A and B are shown apart, each in its own frame.
Chain A
Amino acid sequence: MHKGENVVDFLNSLFYGFSIGLQPDNILFCFLGCLLGTLVGVLPGIGPVGAISILLPATFRMSPISAIIMLSGIYYGAMYGGSTTSILVNIPGEAASVVTCLDGYEMAKRGRAGPALGIAAFGSFIAGTLGVLGLMLFAAPLAEFGLKFGPPEYFGVVLLGLTLIAYLSQGSVIKALMMGAFGIILSCIGLDHMQASPRMTFNIMKLWDGIGLVPLAMGLFGISEILINIEKTRFTEILKTKIKNLFPTALDWMQAKGAIVRGSILGFFAGILPGGGAVVSSLLSYGLEKRLSKTPERFGKGAIEGVAGPESANNSAVSGSFVPLLTLGIPPNVVMAVLLGAFIIHGIRPGPLLLKDHPDLFWGVISSMYIGNVMLLILNLPLIPVWVQVLKVPYRILFPLILLFCLIGAYSINNSSFDVLVMIIFGIVGYLFRKFDYEGAPLILAFVLGPMVELNLRQSLIVSKGNFLIFITRPISAVAIVLSIILLITSFLPYFNKKR
């Protein structure tokens, strides 16, 4: 095919996507997703994983396109909202805005809350738009490449994703891998996919269908977070400062423009990598900006690059993380794992065939991200006073409401109080995990990837008649398996060097 024809095809697909994304109901759900995302981003204590899990059951009656548009909106909306709390309260609204506290709050203390909020919003918008552009450019060729994948290739790539769990942890690698193993064990509960024989069901009929992803994620991230928050009386002290001059000055732009571009590119690629995502990308961007700066001593004392870079990076990482999910059906991080659950509940299996079988969903969701980014830019700055008021709602009123939404959400998946019980039990488990320094993210990712590993391993061995060489003779799986081994070994190097 000629290059010109490719461009025409690309533009046709884009316009087709916009014709779907701009339908009134999709605009409404995109708006709702962005608004709710910003809200959960602003509110400390509930992140995009919890919010998507809680709201997933509310999407059951929507069309799959509207549902995914809304749930995606929550993810990138949360990235916009997170900065507001970091800058004004010095508490990250969600994990990807942790580093924004360092310079954002310092700027606010010096009377520059306006430019900090402004550059965070503009940087997020630019990065979000560049990220969506990257998603469009990368997704279609990668999906075509993914068509060459058989069970051995999938096994290799998913195994690589599982290995990268070691890098997903922010604490102990050993504990992260233990959580990964436990996640796979949990995913095995229920009927075996190949022979339909029950395993680890303990004669409980309700366990035959296995443990649901949504009650598990809601418990580990939603309920446990609430339990942690109610154990200590929390006071949210909002900085008493006038928010003025939201539009950054020419000097601010001069200082921040490089950070925005670098953050966008870095964030996008960090988002694609399994184990990456918004949190990692914002940390990497902050480190990069500090290293590149001629005046690194300004960082931590109100450097605008320290806000612009990470905030851009976490937004473009969101677009990047859609690439492996939409094209290979492999979630690179925990939010995408929950979103994969949403796709499956709506009867759609993301992967190389998604573009061919559901072009409306593929291009509709991508175009909605453009639309959502524009909405967020327009909404975000005028709504900052509203978010400040939201932050003043006492937690004693907020937590019963969040709990109730979790309970209704868990119940409505299968109209089963058993799911509610599962969610509460994993809420307690998640609470104890936090006390004992274990993380829930590796568990959820392994829980989603576990069945993929098993299915592709067993299918590959059926194809090869039990010969394991099939994983070595196929180049893609061989490369992925070798990479997995190398990464696993390197993740333990700090232990041997006694640095960790």
Chain B
Amino acid sequence: MKNLRDKLSGLFWLIVAVFVCLESARAGTGAFHNPGPGFLPFCSAVILGTFAIILIVKSILEREEALNFVDLWKGINWIKVILVIILLLIYAILLPSLGYLIMTFALMVFLFGVLGRPKLWVQIMAAFITSLVTYLIFYAWLQVQLPKGIFGF
């Protein structure tokens, strides 16, 4: 498996560069002596694309890398990483409708249990204290307008 990491990422960046070039052209690159809104992103995308091609070519020509793509994902708790990412995305999406306190409490109950297995009541108590204390500090003291949600808190 020859430098699959660089090949894959190079290909990804090449696609991004082509996409940005098209978008920049749509915004209007203007003329060389009078650049338009799309000029800088277009030039940057050309640079990105050029280096992406160099990276792909280099990864094809170079010797096999010591650490291959599969090794990167070996022996790691990637299920926990995906779980945390999903929890965070759910939090961000539901935060405006369910409000800070409910969402933070629910998130913390899960997060305190991700690395280790404390008793459920410990998780719930820790989550309750964390969400309440941060609510008091940020909402009551620092007057950050935390989302109230449909329940009004």
Query: Are A and B subunits of one complex?
Result: yes
On A, residues with C-beta under 8 Å from B are 57-58, 61, 174-175, 177-178, 181-182, 184-185, 188, 192, 194-195, 197-200, 223, 226-227, 230-233, 394-397, 399-401, 403-404, 407-408, 411-412, 415, 417, 420-421, 424, 427-428, 431, 435-438, 450, 453-454, 457-458, 461, 466-468
Are A195 and B145 in contact, CB atoms less than 8 angstroms apart? no
Are B88 and A233 in contact, CB atoms less than 8 angstroms apart? no
Are A175 and B111 in contact, CB atoms less than 8 angstroms apart? no
B window 109-152: CB within 8 A of A: 111-112, 114-116, 118, 126, 130, 134, 138, 142-147
Q: State in angstroms the CA–CA spacing of A182 and B76 once bound together.
A: 29
Shortest CB distance B153–A (Å): 16
Are A457 and B51 in contact, CB atoms less than 8 angstroms apart? no
A197-B37, A403-B88 are known contacts. Are A396 and B114 too (CB-CB below 8 A)?
Answer: yes
A-side contacts of B114, CB under 8 Å: 230, 396, 399-400
Shortest CB distance A154–B (Å): 15
**CB closest residue in chain B, given A415:** B145
Are B111 and A403 in contact, CB atoms less than 8 angstroms apart? yes
B-side contacts of A58, CB under 8 Å: 142
Chain B binding surface, main DSSP class = helix
A399-B111, A437-B5, A467-B33 are known contacts. Are A200 and B40 too (CB-CB below 8 A)?
Answer: no
A174-B54, A437-B5 are known contacts. Are A199 and B80 too (CB-CB below 8 A)?
Answer: no
On B, residues with C-beta under 8 Å from A are 5-6, 8-9, 13, 16, 20, 23-24, 27-28, 31, 33-41, 44-45, 47-48, 51-52, 54-55, 58, 72, 75-78, 80-81, 84-85, 88-89, 91-93, 95-96, 104, 107-108, 111-112, 114-116, 118, 126, 130, 134, 138, 142-147
Q: State in angstroms the CA–CA spacing of A98 and B114 once bound together.
A: 29
B-side contacts of A182, CB under 8 Å: 13, 16, 44, 48
Picked from A175, A227, A438, A450, the residue with its CB within 8 Å of the CB of B81 is A227
**CB closest residue in chain B, given A226:** B84
Q: State in angstroms the CA–CA spacing of A397 and B111 once bound together.
A: 9
Picked from B20, B48, B88, B107, the residue with its CB within 8 Å of the CB of A427 is B88
A231-B81, A396-B116 are known contacts. Are A421 and B33 too (CB-CB below 8 A)?
Answer: no
Shortest CB distance B66–A (Å): 12
B-side contacts of A458, CB under 8 Å: 35
A397-B112, A400-B111 are known contacts. Are A200 and B44 too (CB-CB below 8 A)?
Answer: no
